[in-house]
Structure 1
Amino acid sequence: MVTQPSRIEHHPDIVALRARYEQASARPAAQATEGLSLLAGLYLAISPWVIGFNASSTLTVSNLVTGIALAVLAVGFGSVYERTYGMGWVAAAIGVWTIISPWVVAGAPTTTKVILSNIITGAVAVLLGLATTAMGRVRRV
């Protein structure tokens, strides 16, 4: 009698972990965090045109690229949470970059509305990234 080797996907520990992450991603708080992360990323990407600083190509490109990256991460959090929750720190890092970018990016406009937009959007991204990471680590008792 020939037995087939068991596949790793069917290991009891893997199955239990997937069920835990599926349960975590089904909670309303997780869904709200994912949705807000997507909205923050989309806003960050379009903020140069909303705020009116699209003439400055350096900060415009920075916000566009990091906004798209944040939105893609949020889609990942929503669709394959068990594989992406550990990347919540990347969303937080994008938020930190968004906060400091008006002073770091060469030629960036330093008007109050540009700075406030980036600080608020960056702070939201940091908080949502940390929340996403924390949700994957919370254990139910």
Structure 2
Amino acid sequence: MGTGTQHPDMMGSHPEMTEMRDRLERTASSGPAVVLEGLILLTGLYAAISPWVVHFAGQPFITVNNLIVGITVGLIGLGLALAPERMFRLAWMLVPLGIWLFISPWVVTATHSARAGIVWNNCWVGAVTALLGLAAMGMTIGRSHKGQRR
């Protein structure tokens, strides 16, 4: 048991926190990051409208699944564009969302026999989503390691 009092504001004044915020801000405002944010937003929008594009909107479970996951991915992309210094830490969420999109045709469809169009669509969109999430995470990790080598 410690006898000292802990102050919640002490972490905010830590010198490494300022450096980390500056690094994230530099990363988030770079050209590749802006392109990545746009691609994440577009991927989310496509995932949300894909049931109508690929014509499987008649299957309610997978349609609702793609709509919810697509809107979530799109909101993460929008958040990255509007407040990148805060949202870059949430980029890791894109990886499990992409994996879920990839496997959802087999998990969500009631008959467990999803049509080829649904499977191909979700496999591609899921893979792209997961790769974009890995790229966003890699940008912050890469910046951190480059800064330490100097």
- TM-score, structure 1 normalization: 0.86
Which residue does 2:51 correspond to in 1? 48
The farther-off stretch of 21-30 and 78-87 is 78-87
- SS state at 2:140 partner: helix
Which residue does 1:67 correspond to in 2? 70
**Matches of 1:88 and 1:18, distance apart in 2:** 16
Which residue does 2:129 correspond to in 1? 125
Aligned partner of 1:19: which letter? D
Give 1:8 shift: 6.6
Give 1:123 shift: 0.4
Which residue does 2:138 correspond to in 1? 134
Residues 3-43 of structure 1 deviation map (CA, whole Å, 9 limit, x = unaligned)? xxx98756543332222111101111111111101000000
Residues 61-114 of structure 1 deviation map (CA, whole Å, 9 limit, x = unaligned)? 000000000001111222222222222221111100000000000326622111
Which residue does 2:25 correspond to in 1? 22
Q: How does 1:79-94 map to 2 (within 5 A)?
A: 79-94=82-97
**Matches of 2:36 and 2:80, distance apart in 1:** 9
Aligned partner of 2:139: which letter? M
Give ranges in structure 1 of 5+ residues lacking alignment: 1-5
1:100 and 2:108 are equivalent in the alignment = no
**Matches of 1:33 and 1:79, distance apart in 2:** 13
Identity in percent: 36
**Matches of 2:87 and 2:138, distance apart in 1:** 12
**Matches of 1:112 and 1:122, distance apart in 2:** 15
The farther-off stretch of 36-45 and 98-107 is 98-107
User: CA RMSD, aligned part only?
Assistant: 1.9
Structure 2 contact 11–17 (Cα < 8 Å) conserved: yes
**Matches of 1:99 and 1:89, distance apart in 2:** 16
Corresponding pairs, count: 136
Selected match of 2:16 from 9, 13, 16: 13
